[in-house]
Amino acid sequence: MAWTYPRTVLTIPVSLTLGADIVQEDFEIPIMDGAVQVQVIVNSGGALWSADIQRGNSTIFTHRASQGGQTTYTSEWITLGAGTYSFNFATLSFGSLDAQVTVTVKGGFW
């Protein structure tokens, strides 16, 4: 791994009044990077949510949680190779929800 600064590759705003939503977006990990981190910030409301990172038919990372109020979930740094990955985020809210999901990549030594 090289020395690269962490940078955000995906930012997904999540805003629901009531119900369910699924977001799927692809992202790239460049050759100089090799780790990814997922962060879910709930600004208000609450929900059940699921986050997955997939490459092809393989699930590389998955996390499910119930989160509410003004709370933040931050994953550990997940080691991945360069390439294209699919990020899936699903929510189920029984009231209003205002949140933001970010995916950050970085190289080594940070």
pLDDT band at 109 (very low <50, low <70, confident <90, very high): low
Q: Is the pTM of this model over 0.85?
A: yes
- Tell me the per-residue pLDDT of 28-64, one tens digit each, with 9 for 90 and over: 998 888 899 999 999 999 899 999 999 999 999 999 9
The whole-angstrom separation of Cα 84 and Cα 55 is: 7
Residue 2 reports pLDDT greater than 70 = no
Phi-psi region of 31 (alpha: psi -120 to 50; beta: other; left: phi over 0): alpha
Residue 1 reports pLDDT greater than 50 = no
The whole-angstrom separation of Cα 78 and Cα 70 is: 25
Tell me phi and psi for residue 72, to 5 degrees: -135, 135
**pLDDT at residue 18, as a whole number:** 85
The whole-angstrom separation of Cα 61 and Cα 57 is: 12
Domains and CATH numbers, the chain: 7-105 (2.60.120.380)
